[in-house]
Amino acid sequence: MIRVAWLVAVKDLRIEARSRVLLWQVLPFGVIALLLAGLALGPAQAGTSSAGPGLFYLVTLFVTLLMINRSQSLENAPGTRASVATLGLDPAGVFLGKALALTVELWVSGLVLLGGSVLLLHTALTGTLEALPSILVTLATLASAGTLYGALTQGGDGPATLLPVLTLPAFAPLLIAGERSFSAALHGGALWEWWVVVVVALVAYCAVGILLYGVLEES
């Protein structure tokens, strides 16, 4: 399982490095969305507003949905699905590999968007750095859940446009927990209880993905 996971993750990241979809398409979109959020808050509000973490996670949600679609579309190119199916890869390994690659991509996006929120939303640098570990774990959880739901919407005949509708109920608690822990790092407050929510969700989604990804692929 680990061997297959590593193989799939390296393959997905190599494709991303070659195609640069994240760099030239998704990240500019995310940064522009942050810029618009900063302009909407206005220069007087941006530094003092408590909306910074929420806006960061809102933009992260958009970026995550785009990257989940991208990750699944790699497998759904005409003919690729059938050829790769005949390799008989362990579905649990495929799930972990795709989730790992998506996690790395979301971490890169997250770091750029955090830099953007410091510059454009004027979130405090020290608080942002303090929130970084919780943000990385939240992004890993979003990647795990997203890989699972991505297979659900794109594995069979389901349209990819179902993805936002299906993922939102799953993502909402994660986004709220992420936003709360980011806010706690910026403005003070209990941080650990939100960490627990995100870590439990990460373990749960990984377990469900390992068990069910094969079923989703077959469907």
Q: Which residues would be at the binding site for other proteins (CB under 8 A)?
A: 4, 7, 11, 14-15, 18-19, 74, 77-80, 82-83, 85-89, 157, 214, 218
CB 143 within 8 A of CB 203: no
DSSP state of 79: T
Nearest-angstrom CA–CA distance, 35 and 53: 14
Closest CA relative to residue 75, chosen from 157, 160, 12: 12
CA atoms within 13 A on the CB side of 78: 0
Residue 57, SS3 per DSSP: helix
- Minimum CB separation of residue 4 from other proteins in Å reads 7
Given the complex with other proteins, which of 94 and 140 has the nearer CB atom? 94
Given the complex with other proteins, which of 19 and 50 has the nearer CB atom? 19
- Minimum CB separation of residue 37 from other proteins in Å reads 32
- Minimum CB separation of residue 17 from other proteins in Å reads 9
CB 186 within 8 A of CB 127: yes
Nearest-angstrom CA–CA distance, 139 and 122: 22
Given the complex with other proteins, which of 83 and 161 has the nearer CB atom? 83
- Minimum CB separation of residue 140 from other proteins in Å reads 24
Nearest-angstrom CA–CA distance, 97 and 14: 13
Nearest-angstrom CA–CA distance, 122 and 196: 28
Given the complex with other proteins, which of 10 and 204 has the nearer CB atom? 10
Given the complex with other proteins, which of 90 and 179 has the nearer CB atom? 90
- Minimum CB separation of residue 144 from other proteins in Å reads 22
- Minimum CB separation of residue 67 from other proteins in Å reads 15
Given the complex with other proteins, which of 85 and 200 has the nearer CB atom? 85
Nearest-angstrom CA–CA distance, 139 and 145: 10
